[in-house]
Amino acid sequence: MNRHLLSKFWLILFFICLLPETHAQITSINQQGITIEALFDSLTNQTAIDIAYDVSAIPSDSAVNVNFQNKHALQIVQEVLRNCQVDITYLNGQIIISKQLPAPQKPQHIVLTGTVLDQSDGNALPLVNISVIDKPLGSITNSIGQFEFKLPHSYAGQQLAFSFLGYNTTFLAIPKEDSIIDIRLTPTSVRLDEIEVTYKDPQTIVEQLRTHHRNNYFDAQTVLEGFFRESIKQDESYVQVSEAIIEIIKPNYYNPSNLERVKFIKGRKKNDLRSMDFIDFKLEGGPFQFSRIDIARYQDFYLEDKQLYKYTYDGIAILNDEIVYKIKFRPINDDGDLLYNGTLFIHSESFALVRSEFKLTNKALKTSGKTLIRKASRKIKVKPLAATYYIDYRYWENKWILNRIKGEIVIRINDKNQKVNSVFTATTELLISDCTINEKYKLRPSELYKSKYVLADQIKETDEEFWKDYNIIRPDEELEKVFKQTKVVSK
């Protein structure tokens, strides 16, 4: 047999061997109400093609009507499963059906984490302002100088500012991807030949604060998005932590008779009631009360119609590389009413209130028990020890907007029946992470967060996917340990 005939022989033999298999893969089937599982078994019996599938990927017990004539088994499977989210491959005489993997999604945010330190001594700096220049988005460092800031990808390349009272502002170009960064702030030194450091009349500065009020704050309604946290310590141990994303409808700053409205978005909490179940009490505060702590809007401590305080000049400070006046205030008549001592930080050029620190006077503390504590489970002896607050504002769209509020209440509770004598420290923090101007936005009555609500009671179960997209105040190391040790529930 010559070479040409030998080649032709092997080619004919190849097709003879192939034809029966190819023919076996073609089939016809006409069935009404057959389950997908039974259909696959029938196809395997008729074609000798094995069909392997993930039982969780297809409704194998669902009934279908099929009528196919002279079709390849793969075509039949593809047609029957055309509406299922599956991947179908054909390999070595086997049909493989698997779950369709979701396409990899591009991260929604750039996540920046790090620590802000003092350049001179390396100490961590708490409550450092972090903001994007000309944007309403902001965050802060926690009590040990750490931060986590989520930014839209479109913000890459824009300037991030780190500012703190008494330090030069440091700027950083926002990177294009997640980064860990350490920032060191340099203490400010004021050159005496550039600024006249002389006594200023505090009453005149306060009058300028009132006069420039309309120029410094919005005359339109703003919608604030904020992160809210309440934590309670019994002596040195955390016994409750609640967190929430809230929305605050902030009316204009010219008519304080229109009050803020709050909407509860999502929350989560962590409880360890081994200590708290002996003494059940609720503190005043929460999102409803904190939404209305706005010294600039209500002109607390410097309202012209109510001369409750006297002022003293306390020099200057540097904030955002600009000069602010420090004006101390204390009650004219400390009669035991809810009055405060504190400091107003007033911008030297715009005369806007940019920061305030204040606390209840000692006389006010003695009569503040019923005001600070909403309810207790039984008669217990309560002694308030301290009530301190902090509030500041940031610059946006040529106006000053609310940035953050922090309050801390310290009380001693004595219950002889339960043999409990403990100091409870309740810390409340509100960080405004975003702001929009929207005159038309309203809340339905059913959406309003009521004054009687207690945050921890409003939180039911966790939605972890939701929390991934929000800026929060990063917990310090001690609080992070509490989070890991206790269960999380949320709404």
Query: Angle at the Cα of 108 (from 106 to 112), degrees rounded to 5?
Result: 110
**What integer pLDDT is reported at residue 16 of this predicted model?**
34
- C-beta separation of 319 from 167 below 8 A: no
Question: Which residues of the chain are in CATH 2.60.40.1120 domains?
Answer: 109-185
**What integer pLDDT is reported at residue 438 of this predicted model?**
93
**What integer pLDDT is reported at residue 490 of this predicted model?**
52
- C-beta separation of 115 from 145 below 8 A: yes
What token pair was written down for 45?
Answer: 């019996």
What is 109-185's CATH number?
Answer: 2.60.40.1120
Burial class (CB in 10 A: 0-12, 13-18, 19+), 69: exposed
Neighbours of 289 (CB within 10 A): 14
Q: Which of 349, 392, 359 is nearest to 127 (CA)?
A: 392
- H/E element, 162: strand 159-163
**What integer pLDDT is reported at residue 200 of this predicted model?**
84
Burial class (CB in 10 A: 0-12, 13-18, 19+), 354: buried
**What integer pLDDT is reported at residue 353 of this predicted model?**
96
pLDDT along the chain (491 residues), means of 10: 41 37 71 90 87 82 89 89 86 83 69 94 93 90 92 92 92 93 87 58 94 94 94 86 93 92 89 53 76 93 88 91 93 89 95 95 84 64 89 93 93 78 90 93 90 80 76 80 60 58
Alpha helices (runs of H) in 63-179, residue ranges in sequence order:
73-80
Q: What is the pTM of this model?
A: 0.74
Cα distance between residue 477 and residue 234, in whole Å: 18
Query: What Å distances lie between residue 129 and 119, 132, 431, CA to CA?
Result: 16, 10, 10
**What integer pLDDT is reported at residue 330 of this predicted model?**
95
Beta bridge partners of 129: 140, 163
Beta bridge partners of 410: 386, 425
Greatest distance between any 2 Cα atoms in the chain: 125
Q: Which of 452, 479, 437 is nearest to 230 (CA)?
A: 479
Q: State the number of CA atoms in the 13 A half-sphere of 175 facing the CB.
A: 10
**What integer pLDDT is reported at residue 14 of this predicted model?**
35
Class of domain 22-99: alpha beta
**What integer pLDDT is reported at residue 158 of this predicted model?**
94
Beta bridge partners of 470: none
Question: Which residues of the chain are in CATH 3.55.50.30 domains?
Answer: 22-99
- H/E element, 407: strand 399-415
Neighbours of 157 (CB within 10 A): 9
